[in-house]
Amino acid sequence: MLNKIILMGRLTRDPELRRTQSGTAVTSFSIACDRDFKSPSGEKETDFIDVVAWRNTAEFVSKYFAKGRMAVVEGRLQIRDWTDREGGKRRSAEVVADNVYFGDSKRDSGGEYGGSSYGALPAYGAPASSGRAPAAGFGGGSDFAEIGEEDGELPF
């Protein structure tokens, strides 16, 4: 039997990192996924999907993701039955994330860090801030020569 789900959407809120009594990290968040089609009224519809991540994945998500950031979630669908405070039987569905990937670059998420703190990661494609000269082939001190259009044939 197979229970595998892959979703891509934007976080609707900042992830919440908690720990179980035994110290295991768990993070919960939800993502908004647009549907591929429009409703009969012409409106695009969105599904809001609850996601829970455990251990290292939980710590990764809580450190590097924030509200509005695009995420790709790979995991499994889990259905839970529970009883609410009034004694009513309830059922909820959530995705248990095995892996979470960045679905956008820092540049695409709005601002260098998308208006939120994503930790100490540099912006995608940003030059190193070490004060050193750029590496060869990346804008400085390069051993490569640019081939102009007037050269005719390519050298390979």
Burial of 42 (0-12, 13-18, 19+ CB in 10 A): exposed
Q: Nearest-5° angle of CA 71, CA 111, CA 51? A: 20
In angstroms, the CA 38 to CA 14 distance is 28
Q: What local confidence, expressed as pLDDT, does residue 105 receive?
A: 75
Check pLDDT > 70 for residue 115: no
- Per the model's pLDDT, the better-predicted residue between 150 and 50 turns out to be 50
Per residue in 8-66, pLDDT (tens digit) is 999 999 999 999 999 999 999 999 999 988 888 888 899 999 999 999 999 999 999 99
- pLDDT-based confidence at 108, cuts 50/70/90? low
- pLDDT-based confidence at 147, cuts 50/70/90? low
In angstroms, the CA 94 to CA 9 distance is 15
Asked whether the beta carbons of 140 and 134 are under 8 A apart, the reply is yes
Average pLDDT, the chain: 79
Q: Indicate the range of 70-74, 132-136, 145-149 predicted with least confidence.
A: 132-136
